[in-house]
Amino acid sequence: MDIHIISIFPEMFDAITKHGVIARAVKQGVVSLRLYNPRDFASDRHSTVDDRPYGGGPGMVMMPDVMAAVLKSALGNAKNDPHVVYLTPQGRRFDYDSAIKFAESSSSQSLVMIAGRYEGIDERFIEHYVDSEWSVGDFVLSGGELPAMIMVDAITRLLPDSLGNSQSAEQDSFVDGILDCPHYTRPEQFEGESVPAVLLSGDHRAIERWRVKQALGRTWQRRPDLLNAKQLNAEQLQLLEEFKSETGEQ
Ligand SMILES: C[S@@+](CC[C@H](N)C(=O)[O-])C[C@H]1O[C@@H](n2cnc3c(N)ncnc32)[C@H](O)[C@@H]1O
């Protein structure tokens, strides 16, 4: 996947390009990630990228001419048809389904992501150049860098070959419209609590059944909205009923 990111703090992206799954995907060529600093495209000797808002008020606004110059540079390097994304709390909420859609179009589409700062970017730039606006949640962060990293991470882990164990993404929360089951590792006893006996049984069918039951049960407990949106089959309904009677909850 060909990704270009515009940010006045490009060094922040070391957090994903130097560590973990994304670093490995970059090293293996599954993802190429290029960073652009708007300050390099400013026209004054102070590398100014922001100015006071027309109409007054607090904060500064990122200047449209500087942002257009840096964007044109990124677009010139895009290997595929570019899709320009602006990270903003006013955008559409990014979720698992949107990550899937970006991952599916990754071979034919380059992603150009713009991280805002201050009060955001001059609206005329957004209207002219941005294809879609995305939010990572109903809260306001100081900049679009963390949201951009969240999107890159969530999309990259869905790309074929990016995860060491290709099965691990398939078992994650949301993949099948429900949450993941709980996980356990050694030691067998921890602060008086044992690992559920079925996981030590070696009975793979029973283990799989237990995992699906727990996944359905905790989705029912924590995210009933997900269950309401999903059509459960007869076996899943039976497992959920078992979970409810075992936990004594209805
Ligand atoms: C302080 S915020 C500006 C918020 C803007 N004045 C508003 O209220 O909509 C600065 C930048 O952080 C980014 N940002 C902040 N919260 C975000 C969120 N929830 N999702 C995506 N980007 C966000 C955007 O790029 C934004 O331009």
- Tell how far the Cα of 82 is from the centroid of ligand 1, in angstroms: 22
CATH number, domain containing residue 57? 3.40.1280.10
In a domain, 185, yes or no: yes
The pLDDT > 70 percentage for the chain reads 99
Same domain, 184 and 126: no
What is the pTM (predicted TM-score) of this model? 0.96
Q: Residues 197-210: what's their mean pLDDT?
A: 98
Mutate to test the pocket of ligand 1, among 6, 88, 94, 98 (most ligand atoms within 8 A of CB): 88
* Ligand 1 close to Cβ of residue 135 (< 6 A): yes
H helices of 28-63, in order, are none
For residues 29 and 143, membership in a common domain is answered with: yes
For residues 93 and 207, membership in a common domain is answered with no
**Pair 139, 109 in one domain:** yes
User: Containing domain of residue 136, as a range?
Assistant: 2-156
Give how many domains the chain has, as a whole number: 2
CA atoms of 176 and 166, how far apart (whole Å): 16
Beta strands at 81-93 and 132-135: parallel, antiparallel or unpaired: parallel
Query: Residues 69, 75, 81, CA angle at the centre, nearest 5°?
Result: 155
User: 163 in a domain, yes or no?
Assistant: no
pLDDT(167) > 70? no
Is 166 inside any structural domain? no
pLDDT-based confidence at 165, cuts 50/70/90? low
Domain-located, residue 94: yes
Residues 22 and 48 in one domain: yes
pLDDT class for 166, splitting at 50, 70, 90? low
> Residue 224 belongs to a domain with what CATH number?
1.10.1270.20
Tell me how far the alpha carbon of residue 134 lies from the centroid of ligand 1, in angstroms: 10
Determine the average pLDDT of the residues in 24-49. Answer: 97
Question: Are 149 and 182 in a shared domain?
Answer: no
Higher per-residue confidence, 204 vs 164:
204
Same domain, 133 and 225: no
Residue nearest to ligand 1 atom 6, measured at CA: 119
149 in the same domain as 48: yes
Query: What Cα–Cα distance (Å) separates residue 150 from each residue in 74, 135, 191?
Result: 20, 10, 34
141-to-12, 92, 173 alpha-carbon distances in Å: 14, 16, 25
Residue 161: its pLDDT value, please? 81
% of the chain at pLDDT higher than 90: 95
